[in-house]
Chains A and B, each alone.
Chain A
């Protein structure tokens, strides 16, 4: 007997682990962010693609750890995220079974979300009910007697306003002591929750509990009605949707540009400074040229990726994303996809990495995978410098139909073809490889809400940092390997040679050049010589590096001005060489190269992102292979037709 207190005291020393469960759009993530702040972390559950968010909640009476479960409507374990939630709640994955479950529900849509609570009560864990959006409920004329609801449900009910922090201090304290919560009980007049069986019984239970607690029924949100009358209008809605896409696109390209230019300038300056400051040698070159410039070429895209994340989260939190998906759903249906896939594909036009991550909002795993598999076909911004180079080299600036030029039309054609290929291949995958029973299409249109900027900033930061952590290793390794291939074995150039000529000598004798020459049988049918092959190898770290690599192979003068570098290189590419009397890149070859470049997955970051999102190397390897095959066939066909 005398040992008992010591045992009891030793046990709670470990911080309580509390799971947050609730349906999508219930304000759970906002609540999680408000409770944990920067202490929240995002990861993946092993082997599955479901986000794992955990974070420490500080409280004066004792801290707790909370686990944000994926949003669910039920624990019937039909979808991957539901299965994960159920296994976490049962303690099958994660460190140990949670000590308590917080059921988070939007106070304005309780009639639909409360049945899930019946399923949670059966688990026999301490349960606490937290109602969010209490302010909105009141604003819309609703009135709920929380005490009566508590009695009807048999568990404690707490009302909070997550984005304004109301009620959170009380909740923090409660989270620290789940053993003090009342275990689900049917004494004191609580309605017994249906223990098993059909959803209809759970709905009936929820309706009965709400009937006891509702003092006034809330009105539909008139603001949402009015906005939807415009945004979902058959004509007006479509016009606004197109404007939205154009603005989204414009924002990604122009708003991120200053930060990207500054990053790229900073990386170059850092590399130059390292070269000038550190003692000359291979290690200094590895650090400056291999790591700083190589990794820097990828890091440059971080502002764009961050902006894209933030914009997507903003659209999701405000409620527009679901409307955009509704407007575009019919058209996406022709390709076997749904409205939410469109946003991921649109993002991929800036960069496939956030595009791949944006597929998380697609509930059907098959639709999600189909979107991931085709996302890199969209013309990302890193392809633009390469297209610009090749177009300037071989396409004449002849004007067509008044204000269009052949050059502009070619670029437009490349953009269009990329998008078309993406949707056509998605349709093929859905009909073939990814066939199977699908989830019903279902989209909830949440009321329009002011997004919590704090929550969006935290989520952007978490997505970005977890991407950098995961992809960073692959990118660093890739940059070092490519630097090695392009710089070894070292070859001495004649001392009177210029810097460009020295670089050319090194690269001509490098392993990359050997590799480029041995790839000749593969690429010769398209008229590429080994130097173009070296460029393709160089572009694998980041696509736009192809321009730099080609400039080195052709000893083109490189300046700080990217436009000037590109101009002199495109001049070299179209000028006949004395040795052969032909230009290094014929028109058919250049066209074939553009097509090859559009289809081949020459991007380490995308491979890393897909590996992360699909939980293994199977799908990224599949993508590398099928995209290379397609690129080769389409490139060869282009060469053959153009010749």
Chain B
């Protein structure tokens, strides 16, 4: 599957439309980006959308066997590529 080019790329904040995706990288190159990687969003990791709170509230994703809740602000830093749904 070709990696999405940075200009058209999707982020974890778009996950509700995708349901499943694979992490490409975490944008920013700062301590927050490093932290998000350490928390499980390393490149190549598969993520699944679980649910989101109303009013642009935080979203919950499944990553590496854990349910993780992130705010939109952080989710926007995580670039993803879609995975075709298998079912």
Chain A contact residues, CB within 8 Å of chain B: 73-74, 76, 78, 108-112, 115, 198-200, 203-204, 218, 220, 224, 228, 232, 234, 322, 326-327, 329-330, 333, 339, 437, 439-446
Contact = CB atoms under 8 A, between A and B. Distances in A.
Contact of A329 (B32, B39, B58, B65): B58
A220 B64 CA distance: 11
A199 B71 contact: no
B65 A76 contact: no
B69 A326 contact: yes
Nearest to A79: B35
A115 to B, nearest CB: 7
Nearest to B33: A440
A445 B69 contact: yes
A73 B39 contact: yes
In order of increasing CB-CB distance, the 10 nearest A-B pairs are: A330-B57, A203-B42, A112-B64, A111-B64, A443-B69, A445-B67, A74-B38, A199-B37, A440-B74, A441-B71
Nearest to A75: B38
Contact of A327 (B36, B53, B67, B73): B53
B40 A330 contact: no
Contact of B35 (A108, A115, A234, A440): A440
A329 B59 CA distance: 11
Contacts of B37: 198-200
Contact of A330 (B32, B39, B53): B53
Given A326-B60, A329-B57, A330-B54, A76 B34 contact: yes
Contacts of A204: 42, 44
Contact of A234 (B54, B62, B70): B54
Given A439-B32, A439-B35, A329 B53 contact: yes
B42 A442 contact: no
B1 interface: no
Given A108-B65, A441-B73, A444-B69, 14 more contacts: A73-B39, A74-B35, A78-B31, A109-B65, A232-B53, A232-B60, A234-B53, A327-B53, A437-B31, A440-B71, A442-B35, A444-B68, A445-B69, A446-B67
A444 B54 contact: no
B64 A326 contact: no
Chain B interface size, under 10 / 10 to 19 / 20 to 34 / 35 or more: 20 to 34
B69 A442 contact: yes
Nearest to B31: A78
A324 to B, nearest CB: 12
A440 B60 contact: no
14 contacts: A78-B31, A112-B40, A115-B38, A199-B42, A200-B43, A203-B42, A204-B42, A234-B53, A329-B57, A437-B32, A440-B71, A442-B39, A445-B66, A446-B67
Nearest to A330: B57
A74 B58 CA distance: 23
A112 B40 CA distance: 6
Name which of B39, B58, B65 has the most chain A CB atoms within 10 A of its CB. Answer: B65
Interface string B38-57: 11101111000011011111
A339 B69 CA distance: 11
Contacts of A220: 62
Given A199-B42, A220-B62, A329-B53, A442 B31 contact: no
Given A108-B65, A199-B34, A441 B70 contact: yes
